[in-house]
Amino acid sequence: MFGLTVRDHMMVAHSFRGEVFGPAQALHGATFVVDATFRGETLDADGILVDIGRATEVLKQVVGELSYRNLDEVPAFAGTNTTTEVLARHVADRLAELVAAGAVGPADHLSGLVVTLHESHVAWASYERAL
């Protein structure tokens, strides 16, 4: 299995509902390092899994949709705690939509995608999905 990872970051504001979140129930900021790993069993005719430049631009687009926003006000997250896990799934699903639309070029050899959001140097969450 081949994998190609590109990285970006996003800064957001959000709050959580539920006692388990303690002081994070209040509006607060978060910065995430975002890794997107494209996976596949084979390479294309040029010997690449996915073009790094295109993958970087697509990730930048998806991250840009969330950056510098209060996620409590984003309709896609209405009624949802925007935990690191939830955000990882959202980014992965948006990337999958763009891959299917041809944003990274031909992708019939891609089989999956893993998105990891790093909250810090000691904590992160990932979401893996098929393409």
In order, the DSSP letters of 16-67 are --SGGGGGGGS-EEEEEEEEEEEEESS--TTS-SS-HHHHHHHHHHHHHTTT
pLDDT for the residue numbered 2: 97
89-102: pLDDT as tens digits: 999 999 999 999 99
For residue 61, name the pLDDT band (cuts at 50, 70, 90): very high
Strands 2-14 vs 69-70: parallel, antiparallel or unpaired:
parallel
What's this model's pTM, rounded to 2 decimal places?
Answer: 0.96
For residue 103, name the pLDDT band (cuts at 50, 70, 90): very high
Q: Map out the domains of the chain with their CATH numbers.
A: 2-22+39-114 (3.30.479.10)
Write out the H or E segment, with its range, that includes residue 34.
strand 28-40
Residue 126 three-state SS: strand
For residue 17, name the pLDDT band (cuts at 50, 70, 90): very high
Average confidence score pLDDT of the chain: 97
Q: Specify burial of residue 78 (Cβ count, 10 A radius: 0-12, 13-18, 19+).
A: exposed
Residue 108 three-state SS: coil
Q: Answer yes or no: are the C-beta atoms of 34 and 58 closer than 8 Å.
A: no
pLDDT for the residue numbered 62: 98
